[in-house]
Amino acid sequence: MSVGDPHIVVVMGVSGSGKSTVAAMLADELGWDLLEGDDLHPPANVAKMAAGQPLTDIDRQPWLAAIAAWMADHLATGRSGLVTCSALKHSYRDTLRHATIGRSGDITFLLLSGTREELRARVTARKDHFMPPGLLDSQLDTLEPPTPDEHIIAIEIGPAPAEVAAAALTAVRKRIAGPA
């Protein structure tokens, strides 16, 4: 990948990790399009989560396909972008990676991670979100840690959001620039 090629950054992590906040800050700084992945959930998925029921792999398939289609369209038209998506399992990340096959451009996964206590405090403090705090444990149980071959950038969420976004921006720019 070269610096001028389009790039997609998937800001990933469990509920409450700050995906939307950090992605918005990055989109502002980079001037890239931003997709809030939750907006592509079918209504049945939203209803299921709002009722406190975790999604299954089958529930997630159309959602992941919609996100991958958005990514593929951006790469095909030479546009960089950011998307928020929990991307909890290797297989989910593989589905998203397939959006880059045969296209100029690249994809980076940016994992926002924190302690169970940090995440629970954040999820509990949120208002007007369809995902109840009770589903945090199921997301943490589902999260498959990145493997070295995935080349995922991991950022801890402990600092203030602006600091997390600054660290993420530095890491993304370094990744796009490639080896020195």
Q: What residue spans define the domains of the chain? A: 7-177
**Successive 10-residue mean pLDDT values, the chain, 180 residues:** 78 90 96 95 88 88 95 93 95 91 85 87 66 72 88 92 95 83
Instruction: Give pLDDT, residue 134.
Output: 64
- Tokens encoding 17: 């990790």
Position 104: which residue type?
S
| CB-count burial class (<10 Å; 0-12, 13-18, 19+) for 53 | middle
Instruction: Give pLDDT, residue 104.
Output: 75
Element (H, E) at 102: none
Instruction: Give pLDDT, residue 1.
Output: 42
Pairing mode of beta strands 153-156, 106-113: parallel
pLDDT tens, 117-140? 888 877 776 666 555 566 778 888
Instruction: Give pLDDT, residue 55.
Output: 85
Q: What are phi and psi of 55, to 5 degrees?
A: -75, 150
pLDDT tens, 43-67? 998 888 888 888 899 999 999 999 9
Name the class of domain 7-177: alpha beta
Instruction: Give pLDDT, residue 26.
Output: 96
